[in-house]
Amino acid sequence: MNTIAAISTPDAAGGIAMIRISGEDAIRISDEIFTAANHVKVTEMRGYTCAYGTVSDGQEALDDVVLTVFRAPHSYTGEDTVEITCHGGIYLTKRILMTVYLHGAEPAAPGEFTKRAFLNGKLTLSQAESVMDLIQADSASALRVAQYAKEGRLGREMRGISDELVDLMSALAYWLDDAEECPPELERTTLTAKLNSIDTKLREMSARYQDGLVLRNGIRTVLLGKPNAGKSSVMNWLCGTNRSIVTDIAGTTRDVITEQVKIGEFTLLLSDTAGLRETDNTIESIGISQAYQALDQADLVLYVADANVGMTDEDTELLEKCAGHHTVLIWNKTDLSDAAPPEMPIPVVQIAAIYEKSTEQLAAVLKDLFGQSAGASGAIPLNERQNLLILRASEAVRSGIEAAESGNELDMMYADLEMAASYLREIEGEDVTDDVIDGVFSKFCVGK
């Protein structure tokens, strides 16, 4: 492969920056532009060693740098790799990169370093995909999910299921070719039970994908309640600032106000909505319609009730509309009333939003609702590609189940199981096309 180079730190001024070079000419190029303070040549440096010195463009010294050598195959990409750490000026970093190009390197494409790591067997495809999730993680739970994928947990689970399918295929092939009697594991009842178990594992894996989306992208959260329940005050409490207008006039909020906030280890994509009530006001009606639209898309509902008024029949009816969503009752305005909230099958947080500073109560509730995913030790599909392949494998297994249950010849099942195993292998990068590989790494940043 050709030798590539790119800046692997952000395109912004900083204390330091790093240029990465990878390929068969990485050592030669570095030797031509770098002079070590101890006069050791780059070509003589062992892997995993550093040297302090100067980078020059041939006419003048550009910067004092630290150069690190990684020898193939013991590098991130599996190739000879050199990393040059310099001062983090934007112009300076690009000047050094241009010098690297002039000595024979080519610009790296988005994700090309990680793509080479995959092609050289350093990472599976699912592990490679986890790299961007590691970079983009903005919470402990999102980081944990990405780390699990980077460790190869998804691959191990997929290989385990694929091995189960291969074992069944082997038994089928042996019986169809040589055996006179059907072995016990291929009796229809036993076989159907085995395939149903495999399908359950695949469905559970796909269900984790939605959990992973919540952890990585944030919990889509909508504030609902009657007018004057204090939703805007709750919004401001969660944001830690006066994000929404607060008045005693019912119907003040007529639009959906959105904000991203951190509560504990979770990110809430928060929407404050118009108070829900019957109204003849055209503008307020539009806001109420938007509130119901936000509800349809929500992962979490924070339903705000006025403790001073108590839980009304209208509140109960509105809460019924939240069925199917994780819902938390925010029992607000406790400064005006010491009335206890009613017994409810949903979590309750009691606050006086205009005075409240801490979000620990709500953070504890979120951990109960979403913490199983955040602390799950199992693998979670990271993206739609992985989830789609799991769903396709599940469909193929169910087709095999139908063949077994309908009394069809068992040789018709072999193709279904082979297809399911193929889909699972594709998750890890086996039997994938170049277009799939290019599509995966095109989403990466340059330099990674």
Reported as a single tens digit per residue, the pLDDT across 67-115 is 999 999 999 999 999 999 999 999 999 999 999 999 999 999 999 999 9
Closest by Cα among 170, 153, 164 to 198: 164
* Amino acid 409: pLDDT: 66
Q: Measured between alpha carbons, how far is 100 from 116 in angstroms, rounded to an integer?
A: 19
CB 350 within 8 A of CB 324: no
What is the mean predicted confidence (pLDDT) over 159-176? 85
What is the mean predicted confidence (pLDDT) over 136-153? 80
Q: How far, in Å, are 173, 227, 242 from residue 167 at the CA level?
A: 10, 62, 62
Q: How far, in Å, are 228, 361, 362 from residue 356 at the CA level?
A: 17, 11, 12
For 73-106, the DSSP string reads TSSSSSS-EEEEEEEE-HHHHHHHHHHHHHTT-E
121: left (phi over 0), alpha (psi -120 to 50) or beta: left
| Residue 166 identity | V
From-to residues of CATH 3.40.50.300 in the chain = 218-374
Q: How confident is the model at residue 356 (pLDDT cuts 50, 70, 90)?
A: confident
pTM, full prediction: 0.74
Average pLDDT, the chain: 84
* Amino acid 246: pLDDT: 43
Q: Measured between alpha carbons, how far is 36 from 20 in angstroms, rounded to an integer?
A: 18
Q: Does domain 218-374 have CATH number 3.40.50.300?
A: yes
Q: Measured between alpha carbons, how far is 366 from 19 in angstroms, rounded to an integer?
A: 41
Phi, psi dihedrals of residue 319, rounded to the nearest 5°: -65, -35
393: exposed, middle or buried (Cβ count in 10 Å: 0-12, 13-18, 19+): buried
Tokens of 80: 């000879």
CB 156 within 8 A of CB 379: yes
Tokens of 224: 């609902």
From-to residues of CATH 1.20.120.430 in the chain = 153-213+383-428
From-to residues of CATH 3.30.1360.120 in the chain = 4-118
SS3 84: strand
| Residue 300 identity | L
Instruction: Name the percent of the chain lying above pLDDT 70.
Output: 86
Closest by Cα among 309, 148, 164 to 225: 309
For 38-62, the DSSP string reads T---GGGPPTTEEEEEEEE-SSSEE
CB 68 within 8 A of CB 82: yes
Q: Please give the CATH number for the structural domain made up of 4-118.
A: 3.30.1360.120
Pick the CATH number of 153-213+383-428 from 1.20.120.430, 1.20.140.10, 3.90.870.40, 3.30.70.260: 1.20.120.430
